[in-house]
Amino acid sequence: MTELRGKPVADRLDKESIARMAESGVTPVLAILRVGQKPDDLAYERGIIRRFDNAGAKVTVREVPEDVSQEDLDKAFDELNEDPKINAILVMRPIPKTLSLDHIKNTIDPGKDVDLMNPAHMTGILEGRKDAYAPCTAAAVIEILDHYGIEISGKRAAVIGRSLVIGKPVGLLLMNRDATVTNCHRKTPDTEGICRNADIVVAAVGRAGMMTADYVREGQVVIDVGMNVDDCGNLVGDAVYEDVSKIVDAITPVPGGVGAVTTSILLKYTTENAIRMKS
């Protein structure tokens, strides 16, 4: 079994971003807007800050309480959106169900929308443009597959999840690379069977341990996008790693897999935005 670690992928991306900063003379600034203190949000945030600090970029965090009013959430966002010193904005999702992201999605500066909050900004990947931004985690999945020389074209791929953050865009990216993709969700009959028949399986549900050994077979590649905090405070994926890893040919660990590459993609996008805004 091959462990598809994210570090070598992230290191290469970071090296490229640092070189771009140096040659352009920019210090990229990312703003994070976070509602409350969910453990998985905080874990992701720590990873981002560490990545940016190591590269010489900056992160500013705006935290609002979990019981924030819609008006105050939108106001906090507007301040970040209108600040010319901020090159990119990341809103930690999902937010509480009592709140709406409609205002943020409809007003976010397209140049700062590094995680494609506004679905209209996904036109590039819908058209299959190679230079188009994709949501950071979806882009990280493709970077890992490419780094390890895993063939996508002509393969069957199962994506568990259909969110606009990961599931749908990663499905599009795989299709753009000539994979035959099935996006599975809670109404999909026989998700386990679909996954077993796939060559590549992407778990992107956000539920610890949902992918058991019943979902996989020998010869497969599993990309575990899940970033969950278990009852012991440990960061775990969607797959039951100790069981699934004994069967498949290759799998990303959690931590140490997709998350590391996601933060490097975020650094890359923020850097390119800073260069564009400077010019």
pTM for this entry: 0.92
Query: Helical H runs in the chain?
Result: 7-24, 39-55, 70-82, 102-107, 123-126, 136-147, 167-176, 191-197, 241-244, 258-278
**C-alpha angle with apex 15: 238 to 164, nearest 5 degrees?**
35
β-strand pairing of 88-91 with 29-35:
parallel
- In this prediction, residue 149 carries a pLDDT of 98
Report the DSSP beta bridge partners of residue 211. 239
- Residues 202/225, Cβ–Cβ less than 8 Å: yes
- The per-residue pLDDT for range 156-195, each reduced to its tens digit, is 999 999 998 899 999 999 999 999 999 999 999 999 999 9
The tokens for 13 are 């991306």
Instruction: Sort residue 231 into left (φ over 0), alpha (ψ -120 to 50) or beta.
Output: alpha
- The per-residue pLDDT for range 110-162, each reduced to its tens digit, is 999 998 888 878 888 888 888 888 999 999 999 999 999 999 999 999 999 99
Report the DSSP beta bridge partners of residue 34. 63
In the chain, the domains with their CATH numbers are 24-114 (3.40.50.10860), 125-259 (3.40.50.720)
Reference 215, options 158, 272, 168, 278; nearest CA is 158
Average pLDDT value over all residues in the chain: 95
- The per-residue pLDDT for range 39-75, each reduced to its tens digit, is 889 988 999 999 999 999 999 999 999 999 999 999 9
Please count the CA atoms within 13 angstroms of the CA of 223 that sit on its side-chain side: 35
Q: pLDDT at residue 229 above 90?
A: no
